[in-house]
Amino acid sequence: MTDLPPEEDLNLFRLFAAHETRQIMETLLEGDLQQKDIAYALGVTPQAVSPAIKRLEVAGVAVRASARGRVSLTHHEATAQLLEMEARLVAEIQEKRAQRSTNRLRELRKRAMKGRASRGIASDESA
């Protein structure tokens, strides 16, 4: 059995998984911005992004020059790579889920056809 990562590491992964913080990080990849500019880019109020920016600061992912200063990523390239890896992982998971759903549907159709055939019921395709 493996040990769980420290709570700080789990919180960091949660930041990358959370939609709002991920959007802020993606916006900051384009360059340092003030909170109001981040909010404008995301179509929300500055107050709406404030808690997410604070979480990014506490985690060490972003820094602010002053209370009203520009927000910047602390590890620009690493953040970009992690966001890209996360996007690929999500796409792969969605693809596998879709494939499993398709396989289940095929299996259910096969079972239904076998059941109809065993009861002597013609399929719609052969009618």
Q: Could you report the per-residue pLDDT of 98-125, keeping only the tens digit for each?
A: 999 999 999 988 888 887 777 766 555 5
The three-state secondary structure class of 117 is helix
Residue 62 near residue 53, CB atoms below 8 Å: yes
Each residue's pLDDT tens digit, 20-62: 999 999 999 999 999 999 999 999 999 999 999 999 998 888 9
Architecture of domain 7-78: Orthogonal Bundle (1.10)
Nearest Cα neighbor of 38 from 75, 1, 59, 26 is 26
H or E element that contains 63: strand 62-64
Selected residue with higher pLDDT from 94 and 86? 94
Give the model's pLDDT for residue 4.
52
Q: Taking the chain, what is the end-to-end CA distance rounded to the nearest angstrom?
A: 57
How much is the pLDDT for 28?
Answer: 94
Q: Which long-range contacts (CB under 8 A, 24 or more apart) does 43-51 make?
A: 49/20, 49/24
